[in-house]
A = this chain, B = another copy of it.
């Protein structure tokens, strides 16, 4: 597993412990993660009501700064920002100024000078969001929307929110994360979040080639057998098998991968009867998960998507809180 960039302590938090940036769940307190989920709970009802807008970020400008294409993630952040009444700028940097040879830092400085308020950053290099957070002016918040193999903290929080809504607790849960652990920022962020929230039995299930050798240092138990790995679990988080791993050295063949690690109804007998099945999407039907499971009664995959909007609204509004609060008091 690639080691993440060293985290300057407190980069994410204000002096009084509130969220300023959201770069990683690592090092955050159980209280803060709980506050994010509580705030998301209030927004979950917003997205279900007929008029879905709240004016919390009215007049603010949120920049979706995507160095890596992800229509799905960009869409959820765009919807979250619009439902908070913010203006949204979508900037696909691959096709943008950097093609004119401008550096990342110059791009940031320029957008900053345009008085934007938040960067939602997606980048294929680990540490990109941290780098930007270290550079920005005091009034600007940075949200990590996925950086390399490192972290995807809003995905982890929507996963936690989904578990809490369906299991009402974290203590005593058995959770298995199945698939390409090695290359997964989702796995890494989920593991940190689960541990912070008090889950002690966390398993990672993968072929040996997709398991980092030092994985045990994260406090999880590795399994190379799916049936064993999911035995008695309350929650199974399936990971997407990226296309670029589907051939070559990592797995022998798609067929063998599915027969050994694909989640099917018949495998599920090993888990608890009330197990919930999660997946960050988009799913590869018949690769890591069978359609009968993905569309079945134990799947909460689409609820995760809904929760993604609420959790992103929560994180965005909390990160802007320091900026919002003074306005109220002056």
Contact = CB atoms under 8 A, between A and B. Distances in A.
Interface stretch (A19-27, A201-209, A278-286): A278-286
Interface residues of A, number: 54
A282 B309 CA distance: 35
B50 A75 contact: no
B58 A53 contact: yes
A112 B48 CA distance: 12
B79 A61 contact: yes
Interface string A71-87: 11001101100110001
A113 B243 contact: no
A305 B322 CA distance: 25
A300 to B, nearest CB: 11
Given A50-B59, A96-B71, A103-B285, A303 B76 contact: no
Nearest to A102: B282
Nearest to A281: B110
Contact of A302 (B79, B82, B110): B110
B100 A282 contact: yes
A114 interface: yes
A109 interface: yes
A216 interface: no
Nearest to A87: B82
A323 to B, nearest CB: 7
Nearest to A308: B114
Interface of A: 47-48, 50-53, 58-61, 69, 71-72, 75-76, 78-79, 82-83, 87, 89, 91, 95-97, 100-103, 106, 109-116, 243, 281-285, 302-303, 305-306, 308-309, 323-324, 326-327
CB-based closest 7 A-B pairs: A51-B59, A113-B305, A102-B282, A71-B96, A113-B302, A50-B327, A47-B115
